[in-house]
Structure 1
Amino acid sequence: MRTRSSGSLVEAEVADGWVVVKHAPGAAVAEAAGLRWLASADAVPVVGVRGFDDEWLVLDHVVSARPTVAAARSFGLGLARLHAAGAPAFGSPPPGGPVEAWIGRAPMANVTGAEWPRWYAEQRVLPYVRRAVDGGVLDGGEAGVFERACSLFASVAGPAEPPARLHGDLWNGNVLWTADGVCLIDPAAHGGHRETDLAMLHLFGCPHLEEMLAAYDSAAPLAAGWRARVALHQLFPLLVHAVLFGRSYAVQALAAARELL
C-alpha cells in the first residue's frame, strides 16, 4: 500500500483510490458527526467519512482545483441551503456528536441556549476570554472590555433569527476548491447564527468572496446591517485563535470588541 504523510494526515492508497487518514485524539467523533450532519442537508458537498473511532478518521481524498467565480456562486447558494437546514437550538451538537467538542485544537462546549445574544456571550465569547486570561494572553482590564461588549450583544445583534446549521470553523483552509465546486472539511459544526460562518470567511479571506455573498444573499437575504455586525461575529474565532496562537489575535479581538462599544 502506498502512503504519503503530512503532519497529522496520512494519504493512503486503497482498492478504489486514495483516502486521508487523520489522527485526531478526542476530536474524531465530533468531527465525523459534524461532517455527516452537514452532508445530510444535501446543500454543499462535504468530504465523505469512510470510518472513525476515538482517535482516527478515514476520509475521502479530495483533489483540489483552481477557484472560479461559478464555483463561488454555487457555494453561496449551497451555504444558504445548509444554514436553512437548521438546528434544534443555538449550541446544539450534531446528532451523535459530543457536548464537549472542539474547534481546531481548542475545546468547544455545545451547550444549548434559546436566545442567541446571551448564548453567544456565555458559550462562545466569555469562555475563551477566561482561557486567554489564564494563559497570559489578555489581562484583567482587557477582559473587562469583552465583558462590556457582551452586555451590548442584545442591542447590536440585529433581528432574531432561528438557529442555523453551521460549519462552525469556516475559514478558507476548510473550503476546498475542486473541479466540481467547493467541498467542506474539518467542521466545528453546531447550531448558531448564520452570520458567524460568513464573518469567518471575511476574517481569513475566501476567493471570489463578494460573488459568493451575492449568491447567498439572493437565495437567503441577509438582515439589514449585517456588514456592521461582522466584528461581533468575529469575536469568537479571534478569541479561539488568541487562545491557540497568542497575543496578535488577542489584539485583533480587542479591536473588534471595542468596535462594539
Structure 2
Amino acid sequence: MESAEDLGASHGWRLRRGVLEDGRQVFAKVGAASPVFASEAAGLRWLGEAMDVPEVVEVAEDRLVLSWVDTEPPTPAAAERFGRALARMHRAGAPAFGAPWPGFIADLPMDNSAADDWPSFYATRRVLPFVRRAGLPAEDVRRVERAVERLPEAAGPPEPPARIHGDLWSGNVLWSGGTGVLVDPAAHGGHRETDLAMLALFGVPYEERILAAYQELSPLADGWRERVPLHQLHPLLVHVVLFGGSYRESLMRAVDRVLALGRAG
C-alpha cells in the first residue's frame, strides 16, 4: 500500500485503511498467520455471488485486503432494499448444511463439516462445542443440553440449506449505496432464520422494514418469531466464550424460552 491509516485492533488483528498504487482505497486486516483470513475470503466470495460485499483484493496467511466501503446513515428505503437482497441471498442456497472451508466466528474455530439436517448441524457443529468451551456451571450446561435435545421438535418445519452470513449482527452490516453491505462473515449453508435472529440480538436500524421487505420475497414459516431464541443460542454462547459471564444471563433466558418452545411443540 502507498499509505496506511491505523484503525485500531479487533480480536488480535490490526485494522488499517490504505491506498493502493492505482489509487484504490482498501481495508486491511493484518495479524499472525492464520486460516481465518482464507476462510473469511471464501465466505465473502460465496456470499458475493448473490449479495453486496466488499471485493477481496488480496488474501494471504497473515492478512486480508478488501475494497473500502464508504458508509452512510441507514434509511427506511435502504433497509427495505437490504431485506429483499438478504432474501435473495438466502434463496441462492447451499449444497448442504456446512461449508467446504474451515469455519470461524471472530477468531474462534467452528466445524463446518456437512450434516444431513439442520437440527443435527446446529447441535453438533455450533451449540454443543461452544458449551464445552464456555466454562458454565454444571447446571447451566445440563439446561443447554436439554434445550439441544428439543431441537428436532422446536426447530419448525424443515427447510433446505440457505446461503447465510452466519454472524449477522448490526455491526457487520455497512450501509452504503442505498442498501446494506455484508462484512466479517461466518458464511455457511444454514437456516435462514439464524441470520434474522442475529440481526435482532443487538438490534438493527429499521428492523421491521427489513423483515417486511424480506417476507415480500420469502415468507417465513409460522412461529418464526418464537424460534428467535433458539437461533440465538450459538451467538450468545460465542459471547460467553469471548467476553465471559456477563452474557450468561441472556444465554440462560434464551435457553428457558427454547425449553418452553419445545414443550409447546
- Give the TM interval when normalised to the shorter protein: over 0.9
2:27 is aligned to 20
**Which residue of structure 2 lines up, in the alignment, with residue 29 of structure 1?**
38
TM score, norm. by length of structure 2: 0.92
Q: For residue 140 of structure 1, report the CA deviation from its aligned partner.
A: 1.2
The equivalent of 1:9 in structure 2 is 15
For 2:27 and 2:99, how far apart are their aligned partners in 1? 28
1:117 is displaced (CA, Å) by 1.1
Instruction: Give distance in 1, aligned partners of 2:160 and 2:49.
Output: 19
Render the CA deviation track for 1:135-172: whole Å, top value 9, x for unaligned.
xxx11111000110011111111100000001011011
- Partners in 2 of 1:75 and 1:245 — Cα distance? 30
Partner of 2:127: 125
Q: Offset at 1:92?
A: 2.3
Paired with 1:111 and 1:143, the residues of 2 have a C-alpha distance of: 24
* Structure 1 position 183, deviation (Å): 0.9
Q: CA deviation at 1:17?
A: 2.7
Distance across 1 between alignment mates of 2:24 and 2:178: 18
- 1:80 paired residue number: 87
Using the TM superposition, give the Cα deviation of residue 16 of structure 1 relative to its aligned residue in structure 2, in angstroms: 2.5
Q: CA deviation at 1:127?
A: 0.5
Q: Output the amino acid matched with 1:5.
A: D
SS for the counterpart of 1:227 is: coil
Mapping 1:45-56, distance limit 5 Å: 45-56=52-63
Contact 2:4 2:16 in 1 (8 A): yes
The answer to whether the 8 A contact 2:127-2:237 is kept is yes
Q: CA deviation at 1:62?
A: 0.6
Deviations 1:1-39 (A, max 9, x none): 332111211111122231111115421000000000000
What is the distance in 2 between the residues matched to 1:118 and 1:52? 32
Contact 2:77/2:178, CA 8 A, preserved across alignment: no
The question of whether the paired residues in 1 share the 8 Å contact of 2:29 and 2:63 is answered with: yes
Distance 1:254 1:23 in 2: 35
Match 2:109 to one of 107, 110, 114: 107
Extract unaligned runs of 5+ from structure 2: 260-265
User: Which secondary structure state, in structure 1, belongs to the residue aligned with residue 200 of structure 2?
Assistant: helix
Residue 185 of structure 2 corresponds to which residue in structure 1? Answer: 187
SS of the aligned residue for 1:20 comes to strand
How well do the aligned residues superpose, as a CA RMSD in angstroms? Answer: 1.1
Identity %: 51
Report the Cα offset of residue 105 of structure 1.
1.9
Asked if structure 2 preserves the Cα contact closer than 8 Å seen for 1:158 and 1:225, the reply is yes
Letter in structure 2 aligned against 1:77: R
SS in 1 for 2:48: helix
Q: Which residue does 2:233 correspond to in 1?
A: 235
CA distance in 2, matches of 1:109, 1:52: 22
| 1:58 aligned residue | 65
| Counterparts of 1:60 and 1:88, CA distance in 2 | 28
How many positions carry a matched residue from both structures? 250
* Alpha carbons 1:105, 1:244 under 8 Å: kept: no
Task: Determine if contact 2:164/2:190 at 8 Å carries over to the other structure.
Answer: yes
Alpha-carbon offset, residue 180 of structure 1: 3.4
Structure-1 residue corresponding to 2:157:
159
TM-score, with normalisation over the residues of structure 1? 0.93
